[in-house]
Amino acid sequence: MENLIVGSGPSAAGAALALCADESQSVTVVDIGERLEDDARSAVARLAGQDAAGWSARDVETISEQPVRVGAGRIPQKRAYGSDFAFRDRGQQDGVLLPTGGNTAPVSGALGGFSNVWGAQAMPFSRSTFDSWPVSWTDIEPHYRAVLAEVPLAAEEDDYAEEFPLLGPSGPLPPVSARTGRVLDRYARHREAIRRAGVVVGKARIALASAPCVRCGLCMTGCPYGLIYSASHTFERLIRAGRIRYLSDMLVTRVRGGDRPAVTGVELATGSPFSLSADRVLVGAGAIGTSRIVLSSMDNPPAAVPLQESMQFLVPFVSATSTGDPRRNPGGDFTLNQFNMLVEFDHRAYTTSQIHCYPYNPAIAGALPAPLRAKVMDRAAGELLGRLTAGFGYLPSWEAPQLTLRLERGRGDRLAEVSVQVRTAEKPLLRKVLARLAQVAPRLDLYPVLPMVTPSGPAKSYHFGSTFPHGQGSDLLGRVDGLPGVHLIDGAVLPSVPSTTFTLTVMANAHRIASEALRA
């Protein structure tokens, strides 16, 4: 049978893994396919071809641009190997309207999607999450395992495994920073009291091939050795193996259901229209991208659909004791998330807030107040950096501001114009989370700087979806009324968005949909 996949992000990779495991299936991927620029790709190739000791300073500088402030957003936008290619608009974002301070780039056109710039945290949702879904833990667990056979995992057994089992082979994290080591040691000493306060601390779970890691400190801007998983790795492997036909520079604007479903759109290089049909179409263009294609394709679309988001917030932590200026660490550290804090509000890890903690990376130094970045203040800056930890926290969608994706107007053969609107902005759980963090701070020597807590704008967390959730807007195979043979496979179909990591579940659910579609 012939299959068409729209997009090349994590959900599309999950579906492709399931389809390509069946030799009777042919798979075509239709994608915008934006890639890293040639000069940066050449620099990465040169660095990857030699030991870090021999790296050219110019090549390192080329691929090491730190996050950049964009528009009115309060949290900067990451770069990958010095480039904004993961965020670049090739037409997929034209006509997506966000409130001031909201995400200016909610739909990626890159090969690999936003997995080119993600934090690489890879955990399942808790078992209790699926108690309120029409998809059970038993249904999805084998698909988590199938995805983790493809995605490398650096993780270790700790208290997190009580609710979030590893589910696949894993290697240890690279050696952690002095600050992370101290937090974990203090947690071990005061574990009982901290757990009684409803807080769990554990090492990060990272989609990282950790064994070859040389701790060069470039994780946040792009690993030259490609050790951090991207969905592009899966597609490039399947393309090389001849299992996928990959068509790039193509913007899908419509899907058509039927015995022979199809996609239509425009070839970006020429502006010419195209149409492709197959036995099955799977749409994985990201929750907002997919929802927009579906709304553009319906004869009588709803005026609006709900959009659920696990809202992100930034919480700086300061410690009473310093671990020394991290810029002077001769060995360097890996700069991805090193440890997590889970704040629980029940006894089944359902309503939680998770905070991903980053002890040091150059972006933290760059965010210091201007006076501290002056050369004469270098010693004071180092003393402060030895005490700082950056935390990126998330609230579950049912305790976060409620959003709506509204259809504004159709635009002929182009994608319809849509807007993200805030229905309710309350976030009382955030105050409770910060109170819990303050409660356990003396035991961990990790004090939240409450006046500097910064909530992200709408859709800025990239953990959003639920526009056509299973059991309501779509069936368990992601099919919506009026579009037979078309399956939505990304965050658009998740019934809810917990505070814990997002991408692994998106991939596993897409793998489940594609696997069950083969048997349907």
Helix (H, G, I), strand (E, B) or coil at 410: strand
Query: If you ran DSSP here, which 8-state letter would residue 372 be given?
Result: H
pLDDT for the residue numbered 366: 66
- Cβ–Cβ < 8 Å for 360, 318: no
pLDDT for the residue numbered 499: 98
Distance of CA 398 to the CA centre of its chain: 19
The residue that leads in pLDDT, 230 or 333, is: 230
Tens digit of pLDDT for each residue in 6-49?
999 999 999 999 999 999 999 999 999 999 999 999 999 999 99
- Cβ–Cβ < 8 Å for 85, 117: no
pLDDT for the residue numbered 73: 58
Query: Residue ranges of the domains in the chain?
Result: 2-519
CA neighbor of 20 nearest in space, from 250, 234, 228 = 234
- Cβ–Cβ < 8 Å for 481, 492: no
- Cβ–Cβ < 8 Å for 368, 381: yes
Listed range (81-85, 374-378, 402-406) with the worst mean pLDDT: 374-378
247 burial (CB, 10 Å; 0-12 / 13-18 / 19+) is middle
- Phi/psi for 47 (5° steps) reads -65, -40
Neighbours of 304 (CB within 10 A): 17
Name the percent of the chain lying above pLDDT 90: 85
Tell me which H or E stretch contains 347: none
Q: What is the Cα–Cα distance from 107 to 421, expressed in whole angstroms?
A: 16
Q: What is the Cα–Cα distance from 366 to 379, expressed in whole angstroms?
A: 15
Q: What is the Cα–Cα distance from 443 to 257, expressed in whole angstroms?
A: 58
pLDDT for the residue numbered 234: 98
Tens digit of pLDDT for each residue in 224-274?
999 999 999 999 999 999 999 999 999 999 999 999 999 999 999 999 999
Q: What is the Cα–Cα distance from 442 to 450, expressed in whole angstroms?
A: 15
Say if strands 262-267 and 454-455 run parallel, antiparallel, or are unpaired.
unpaired
**Count of helices and strands (H, E) across the chain:** 13, 20
- Look up the CATH superfamily of 2-519: FAD/NAD(P)-binding domain (3.50.50.60)
pLDDT for the residue numbered 383: 82
